[in-house]
Structure 1
């Protein structure tokens, strides 16, 4: 057909046609925190031939957050609308703006979605373990601890090494308070995680961490640094062992809050750190059990268990055994890197493998704080009641 007889001309605007200009949508403040009142602004255009009146509503998941009305908007004119929406929780919010005008001939341009991102002003994710110099066959990883009170949506979170222009985004995942999240380059780390471990592989890859030290930045969806660390190899870790934080609640940038993983596996991805410290004893203590002990091979009281509780989060431990004449006969540990608590055993033999005689032996324990150099020392006596047969 070459015309539209009896109908509205195809190039003639309809009487009522309002439009929400999606490209005009903006927010104030630009980078809100949870305490900021957010205002959403946009433009309404009258594309019809009659003046119009109407209402604009802003909703989130069908919940009305705010609205505004306008009236007698002349044809061809536009009006700017500002709606105060109140405060928002940290994270990402998908808002829907809807334009309501009676008898609108074209409703396809009467609504639009708007993504609002609110920064996290409290630390909800923290760096908890770093494996920057792994053994052959083991991939590098970063472990994060969730400090949020409830669930945390990881959509939009991202991280980087010292090259902050090369950002890696998290896969969309919802985690809970207390969860440990492991970021790595691929899924080959799965066998080293607990059954309920959380391993995330960024679609943007994983940075190569320098063996001499590096920087790690953790960004929230608003692009604000939520946690960071600049470490060197003298902080701990290396030679196949990971660098662990003493407690997730401690500050990441403090060298005194980190140490070398002491577990046999050398790493602890997705599990409590091997040097985890809940609380430190004020003075420390050494316990010997059983005492006396009788290493006679009958599987009863055969070994002396020497349990220590140190006033340091991480220390160099030396434990020596002397006979009654003051001669050193056995070295159980010398400058052993350890956490605040642990147990060593003596099987009743000297360093040369010979069996110790019945008698009194002196146990000397010294611990040096890895961070401050402060030291403590204990001297205990143990009784070997029967010689090995």
Structure 2
């Protein structure tokens, strides 16, 4: 007993039966009625004298590794296949006869009269893992002390001392076996024939675990959860103390739970870092008080499970739309995609890639956080592998050089990312000609468009599957604004914003109001770019009424909120009638390297939408070369001008006073020759809104250089005929987008004829450059001749000959004589002859003065 004292001092279980029973301290259960504690304080079998009887007793014990088990036994019988004992050190079931039992035991006896170590697997026959020396218990009075150890590496050793004193242990062998790692019980099982029912004696059970727990495995369960698997059961209090765990130096778990005896579940508020992570564990102890004195640090690599990308998680960050002429890359269009997340592996399988005309599907490819990949046709994969990750696809969409809408969508159709690129985004005219890619500048600002893209500066022309050469910080700190508002139906208005919106805020009905008041019933954000919002009203709007819509609480994709409510005015467009929108100014003979323009004006009191209107010319008597003015909504307010041209910048450069907001760019204008031609404006219903036949002869005869000088409408309410147009003042040459330099308010003639102004100066300065003879008759069918005489009565010019009069109108004198020379300063007389259908005649004389500067 003295030899056992060092072990007893640290034992987790010790049973000497000195208290005279086995039902407490510790408690043994099982066939308790078939065992006794004898006078020598030994546990002795006392079962029925029936051959084949099996008896058992068990007591709780979870010791499993880093443990020593020891006991004393005396079998006063000749051991055999029917007379032996199994002493279980590890058992997961209190029924040692159960077929489902898992555990380890020492068998004393059997046909070889030995002590051996066995393993029992559920549903199977026990197998010997250490074969003890034969004949060590070959008498009828077999005393033996058994010691079994299992180290923290699951190495077993079996020792026996047949003297029973514990001073002469002899090893029976070693083995490594980690099959079973959990225990619930220690127990005794005896099997005998009828004569040996009382011949099994046991004493001095000792179980010693002096080793602290060992972390065997760390397993990631999700992006925020790990499980720790220790080699033995843990003390619940320490195992569930959050302070005992630290992730990556600073982060503590929000949950620390003892899921099983030796398994700890840790959940963190943040996702694990992709790649390397570090977990430090302190102060844990096993059930027997063995403490981890040195912190355990376990490094682990985390790759999150691949997921289908959500909105703005997978981006298109580079576009090679025009691959020729070659700069340094393979001759192939391509797109680059980028995983914009910091903690997600994206599975691209089934993601749809679309351009304006076709859709293809990406293959089963995974993209790590922050990883780039270039998308090319399958046949081009080998040509791009030198640059990085390559995704080959069939049916690669042909990319339009000028630009188009590209979209990425989930397999379920939900939008991931969209970009409507343009060749204007190169911001470099030489690079837009080909061989250079467009690159996104700041991949953390995916909602920006033109401002966040530019031409690559890499000497090869692009950076496929690599960080972009133009990469820089370009955050969006500017809130959104409303570009325009257009009524698209009696109950709907379309709002266009200057940038992409947060769709949740943009669809909140309470964020919108309209004046005069109409209730808002629905709001929809238009994908895929989320720059347009359709607001639906509960009742219809009225024509010829100007409305103001106010939007509050609207943020852009980056979360920027305007400091003031956003407002825009609009009106419900009316159905146009021919003559509502007319040709107001035409430049058909531009300066060298200049371009033509046609200016329209809405002279009605209606709001008119120019969507699907057309501009044309004529070929003979046939309207031809029809070109769309715009396919988008463009509402022209009463009195509003719009300038149609293929190059607004060119017009603005040549005419600095031009109204910048009045331009509407067309892809191209019909041809308008310098000598003569016809401008035709067509409504969506095919009716001619207005038509103007011009010639260079309509310009003022004293203008030496006609290049760059427009013809302007004189009277807004007058007909679109030659006499109602005049050369723009030579002080401006043209007035694109604003009031004509030669405009004249209609004069209501209270008598048959009135001259306005009575003094004019035909010098081209835009101030009274011509005189008009305004008429008003009360009958139809009259023809007129107008002849101009000077103060001496000499004929100067035959202005009008046999002209059929309307009921009202005007004639214009530009101050030129019959030979095209300029009339001198002085008084002149308009001699007017009127002829009726029945031969009646009347004569009228009106005075006018030609003024000017005297040299």
TM (norm. structure 1) is: 0.44
Between Structure 1 and Structure 2, the one with more helix by share is 2
Higher relative contact order (CA 8 A, sep 6+): 1
Structure showing the higher strand proportion among its residues: 1
Q: Which structure has the larger Rg?
A: 2
TM-score (norm 2): 0.22
